[in-house]
Structure 1
């Protein structure tokens, strides 16, 4: 009796796995399906987060939107891209002065920390027009004081998150549409 019950449980588990696998495959093919849960690229760190494996060959990603949000224990930055994936990226705290990439002009920012978020093989313009409505944000969040772009040149896009304190951050990705999320602890 016990062996028969175990066989039935095993059969139900296999069936559930098969149904789940088929359902998940169907959702990834359907562009109208709801966005899946985030994929964690890095857990909370104050170090360097780098991924150059995402650089699309002979092309570039376009930054479509940049927005921020306040949460109880962290401030969030979301970069949204056109296409099917996010580009490569390099994220780390940098020293002052922060400089614009084309002119070398110093950009003075408030706070005690500057988190550089650099996209590799990306642009924020198309046909001579900016694809992002605001390139300098002052969100007035607990830690995130200012978010400004310092580079959109030769397929590199760089943003600086000026923070009150250089606390740990984490990096996540989302799909449908592709987004890179940077959370900074308060």
Structure 2
């Protein structure tokens, strides 16, 4: 073999090896550091405060894993707004359509299109309407030197509250008489009072008469019971003696069987009218003297 050819081949081989050794290796592709980055194109508030879902859509980039994603934002998701003065806390309600955000996921990622995942952190990079200005710092008032406080006059005590007007106590109206009468088509009960006014009254059918103080059942003749409640009223004088001659009376009328007082206590007077059967009734107010009249249909 020709020695010159061997030398030429060796020189070519050595040159190729030297060129390969001097060549710089290509840098590896960048590792994505953000799961998705782009504009907020939809917002759905969640059922719990501070939660919801957003769709983020952006252009493919080597440092971003997904260009489009449906992102669930939990109440525990960290949300910050990146302003010119640094990051500041934000909430889900701060997100608006058109905001530019970047998101880091937590947990598994659904391989749908777009992908679905839960956000660990949401950073608001740009607001569609700009960031709200930071509130100006509040000035800190200078404390008054302790020595100077001794020269200050004590603060004046607030004026006393005006006394409350005495509560007006309603005067109980005295019940003078209770009587019954035959009115041809009605059985009548009359309650007569002292003075020109009637007390307030309630007339209603009840299932079982009862004493007002103890609540114990009171036996009254009849199959239906009409209760008459009077207030403010009393059926006794200042000495405690009854102002009505008879507090219980058996009645021999077609419908009314008995009338009985069941209460005269703390401004409340109650009488019960025992009826042979459940009947309709009407109530009348009469004057001179003041009377409450109840007519029970036969």
Q: What TM-score, normalized by structure 2, do the two folds share?
A: 0.42
- Structure 2 residue 262 is the aligned partner of structure 1 residue 162: no
**Selected match of 2:244 from 120, 127, 132:** 132
Cα contact 2:193–2:290 (8 A) shared by 1: yes
Count of residues paired in the alignment: 130
- Structure 2 residue 108 is the aligned partner of structure 1 residue 108: no
SS at match of 2:221: coil
SS at match of 2:260: strand
Alignment of structure 1 residues 167-186 onto 2, 5 Å: 167-186=279-298
SS at match of 1:125: coil
Higher-helix-fraction structure: 1
- Structure 2 residue 187 is the aligned partner of structure 1 residue 72: no
SS at match of 1:184: strand
The CA distance in 2 between the partners of 1:79 and 1:141, in whole Å, is: 17
- Counterpart for residue 171 of structure 2: 59
Gap regions ≥5 residues in structure 1 = 1-55
- Counterpart for residue 261 of structure 2: 149
Once the 2 structures are TM-superposed, how far is the Cα of residue 58 of structure 1 from its aligned partner? 2.0
Gap regions ≥5 residues in structure 2 = 1-167
Q: Report the structure number with the largest CA radius of gyration.
A: 2
The CA distance in 2 between the partners of 1:106 and 1:171, in whole Å, is: 26
Residues 16-59 of structure 1, C-alpha deviation per residue, up to 9 Å, x if partnerless?
xxxxxxxxxxxxxxxxxxxxxxxxxxxxxxxxxxxxxxxx9621
The CA distance in 2 between the partners of 1:181 and 1:57, in whole Å, is: 27
Structure 1: 4+ residue segments shifted above 6 A: none
Superposed CA RMSD: 1.3
The CA distance in 2 between the partners of 1:110 and 1:58, in whole Å, is: 34
The CA distance in 2 between the partners of 1:81 and 1:57, in whole Å, is: 19
